[in-house]
Amino acid sequence: MIRNPIIAANWKMNMTPTETEKFFSVFLKELPTSNLRDVVIAPPFVSLAKAADMLMQADSVKLSAQNMSQEASGAFTGEISAAMLLDLGCRYVILGHSERRSLYGEDDVVINKKVHAALAAGLIPILCIGESLEQRDGGQLESVLSTQLEGSLANVSTDAAKGIIIAYEPVWAIGTGRTASPEQAQETQAYVRSVLSRLYGAAASEVIRIQYGGSVKPGNAAELISQPDIDGFLVGGASLDPVSFAEIVRAGCC
């Protein structure tokens, strides 16, 4: 089974619309033109429209949001709906990032509602899961990941699950400069696939793409992507520099 790699940038709370314009004016020149895999950029909400403008001539790069409301519309001050994101040109939405889980109290129940709202609207969720160092050291790695997957994907059909992207991001590797070794990431992602196989069957689990995220850089991308169960990356810090991110896209794609 060949899974097409998907390389995504998570800009977090960085990049004004002006900075977004500058990023794309460099990045689009750096982007490899041949053998391109799926490339996704997740700017903050306020920079999505500028990013969409800049990508008019580059339909190989898709847009993602970093979060959304589980509600469709109404009296939810400060929230953004799936329909709004679609209207801006988003195809993907990152859900359940560890920063949303730890800083904004999002649990698997809320994340599951968001997954259903995204799917109902036609957005592809990039569903983040991952363990803390304490949980890994305490022998809870597998139970944490299976609980997150079962909770976040509750009542998601096999057909819908096949299109979802899973991002495995060990919390201890996010923004710390400490990457999981390729072997550690492979072993854990093979486990994630085994949980997907239990939930959806072996055939479906073979088509679901699982990204690795956590201190991915140009220097470690090629070795990570060579692992059989690593189907792409979710990149934070290194995606803010257009040259670095283009290098990661190249490493992940050709």
5 near ligand PGA (CB under 6 A): no
Q: Which two tokens stand for residue 251?
A: 């490493």
Does 43 participate in binding ligand PGA (rule CB under 6 A)? no
For residue 54 the two structure tokens come to: 């800049």
Please name which of 110, 100, 157 lies closest in space to residue 130, comparing C-alpha atoms: 100
Per DSSP, 4 falls in state P
> Does 7 help bind ligand PGA (rule: CB under 6 A)?
no
Query: Could you tell me which residues are beta bridge partners of residue 86?
Result: none
* Contact letters for ligand PGA, residues 153-192 (x by CB under 6 A): ----------------x----xx-----------------
Does residue 244 touch ligand PGA according to CB under 6 A? no
Q: Interacting stretch for ligand PGA, rule CB under 6 A, among 60-68, 144-152, 207-215, 219-227? A: 207-215
Check residue 213 for interaction with ligand PGA (CB under 6 A).
yes
Q: Can you tell me which of 65, 216, 249, 253 binds ligand PGA, judged by CB under 6 A?
A: 216
- The rounded distance, in Å, linking the Cα atoms of 124 and 182 is 27
Report, in Å, the least distance between residue 169 CB and ligand PGA.
6
- Whichever of 95 and 234 has its CB closer to ligand PGA, that residue is 234
Helices vs. strands in the chain: H and E counts, helices first: 12, 8
User: What residues pair up with 38 in beta bridges, in sequence order?
Assistant: 6
- Using CB under 6 A as the binding rule, whether residue 42 contacts ligand PGA is answered as no
Residues 6+ apart with CB under 8 A from 27: 242, 245, 246
Residue among 85, 196, 234, 248 that touches ligand PGA (CB under 6 A):
234
